A and B are shown apart, each in its own frame.
Chain A
């Protein structure tokens, strides 16, 4: 068969005891095993034949430090042009989210009086934190925004409001799902970001999904402890009911793009960052010819004639990026190239390093003349770390 085990041995094997009832899996007991030695993958990947793929998932005991270790590994593999596929759930999504990754706190406690602590607003640090991990994992949708109080009225919590959702749109510009317990209306665009309140209970029955009047209807749901076959069955039952409704079950991106289009928004200025060739260590004041490859994830067509191109900015590490930091050395889409949705384009440009030594962040972003940078449309710019060191 040819499965080669390259990690170190563990004291005991991870085991899950899973009782299955008529309703599907019901609870269970999991022995999660020991932490994965992520760095053990590096030698094997370095010695493999190109092209190489690295598929990463979690384990039952994922810790906050796992994300940091993986980030370091991703950077090394990226330099070696290894293709990375990261599956964060359920282990990363559930375990790391609380402390290290994006997405697990009570949004309504980030601002306002912040009782009982009295701390100042946590919006900006939280957005910076989330942007870092959304960029790392190529996220642009917040699947489910909720307060952990689950609808209870407490002294220190209020129901989610529109302001809470607005705090998430800058780094999740392609969609935000909102939980039940909110004062927010059911659906709309906020700064061109499609937002939809959940309307269907956990583990829904078909009637929960199909019970709506005719017309265009958007809804999302979640299942807990269900087999994929149960979800497939649920969808098949829904699709078999009243076909004239023309129902579709969609991936999140298609779902929110269509919803945004339906509500009059635009699906333009969406970019995914594929690759760049900058060296992580550069000499002060030196110029480097590099390439940057970008995928068009929007519905607009990029071309030189329509004013699309790529720019870069270099700022000292830790300094917040401003639009004004981008250099005037913009690189337009090559003349002969027309980049439609889903296609990639490679830019050839020259990056000049600052004169002072130290740690810097190099940012890339797409722009359209007359419109501005994509980051102004809530599409996260790319960021890579570079070190400027004297030539030995």
Chain B
């Protein structure tokens, strides 16, 4: 299937989204010892592939489509994650 599909070339951002559930139900306690603005939460932040080009590239590749991606990521932990 993959061989017969035309390649898609994508250009744009490829990024990491770190989402933090800042809901009342997720707050374990508020830290009142410092600024009082720090909240200790139950759920760990989620780290997700994102970007207007990065995400469609991933999605198409997952579906078996040949893709190329022109983007810029660094040699840093987030880039390694991507």
Interface residues on A, range: 35 or more
Q: Is the CB of A48 within 8 A of B61?
A: no
Contact with B along A1-27 (1 / 0, CB 8 A): 111111111111111111111100010
Cα of A175 to Cα of B74 in the assembled complex, Å: 43
Interface positions of A from 194 to 247, Cβ below 8 Å from B: none
Cα of A15 to Cα of B72 in the assembled complex, Å: 12
Q: Is the CB of B15 within 8 A of A55?
A: no
Chain B residues in 8 Å Cβ range of A8 = 72
Among residues of A, the one whose C-beta sits closest to the C-beta of B64 is: A2
A45: CB under 8 A from chain B?
A: yes
How many B residues touch A, CB cutoff 8 Å? 43
Chain B residues in 8 Å Cβ range of A50 = 6
Cα of A154 to Cα of B50 in the assembled complex, Å: 42
Q: Is the CB of A55 within 8 A of B70?
A: no
- Which residue among B7, B23, B52, B70 has the maximum number of chain A CB atoms within 10 Å of its CB? B70
Q: Is the CB of A33 within 8 A of B22?
A: no
Cα of A12 to Cα of B62 in the assembled complex, Å: 26
Q: Give chain B's interface secondary structure class.
A: mixed
Chain A residues in 8 Å Cβ range of B53 = 55-57
User: Would you give the shortest CB distance from B72 to chain A, in whole angstroms?
Assistant: 4
Contact with A along B66-82 (1 / 0, CB 8 A): 11111111111011001
Contact with A along B27-71 (1 / 0, CB 8 A): 000000000000000000000001111001110011000111111
Chain A residues in 8 Å Cβ range of B57 = 3
A263: CB under 8 A from chain B?
A: no
Q: Across chains A and B, which 4 residue pairs bring their CB atoms closest together, nearest first?
A: A57-B52, A57-B12, A59-B13, A10-B72
Which residue numbers of B lie inside 8 Å of A, CB to CB? 2, 6-24, 50-53, 56-58, 61-62, 66-76, 78-79, 82
Q: List 26 A-B contacts (CB under 8 A).
A: A3-B58, A5-B70, A6-B68, A9-B73, A12-B74, A12-B76, A12-B78, A14-B16, A14-B73, A15-B15, A15-B18, A18-B18, A20-B21, A38-B11, A38-B70, A44-B68, A48-B68, A49-B6, A52-B6, A53-B7, A54-B11, A55-B8, A55-B11, A55-B12, A57-B56, A59-B52
